[in-house]
Amino acid sequence: MFGKFISVVGKSMIVASFAIALASCGDVSPAPTASGPAPALSVKSLDHLEKDVTLADFQGKYVLLDFWATWCQPCREETPYLRETFSRYGKDSRFAMLSISIDNGPTTVRQFVAANQMGWNQGFAGTQAEQEQLLSRWKITGIPAIYLIDPQGKIIASDLRGNQIAEAVGRALK
């Protein structure tokens, strides 16, 4: 009987955790703010999970950084704007894009990225513990969370949405 109770409680906790995560999807992320330094970042490359991707890999460039998940509808709605930004500025040697998925596993993310022609750098935040640590370091409470970081590692724009994404990148690259 106790085992059945634990099984039911465990499933309820998983459902509750997912509901909390889903509820935060689309919330405005309050931090870090523009004008502050970008926190450290190290995630797995979606293409090669054994390889880490860090912000230092893009040192000296403007970096558009996107935290997202396939299950987050507002995140999915930003995809065309991100794709347009990459189409406009992706060949500029002073610019890089990195989207970091906080999905539970890489398979669904890879399928979504391929189906939606997301040709820029893709990262995977890893295990739930690694995701929580990353989101905590960046003080992210809701996704999508989209930042523009300057070549010195300073956040120059945050909470970017829609056309604001390409506009912010265009202003930075002038």
Q: Which amino acid is at 75?
A: C
pTM of the model: 0.82
Domain range for residue 113?
A: 2-173
In angstroms, the CA 4 to CA 159 distance is: 44
What's the total number of domains in the chain? Answer: 1
Kindly report, residue by residue over 72-96, the tens digit of the pLDDT. Answer: 999 999 999 999 999 999 999 999 9
CATH number at residue 59: 3.40.30.10
Dihedral in degrees, nearest 10, Cα atoms 34, 39, 45, 51: 150
Q: Answer yes or no: is pLDDT of 4 > 70.
A: no
Q: How confident is the model at residue 30 (pLDDT cuts 50, 70, 90)?
A: very low
Locate 131 and state its tokens.
């995701």
In angstroms, the CA 128 to CA 117 distance is: 26
Locate 65 and state its tokens.
């950084």
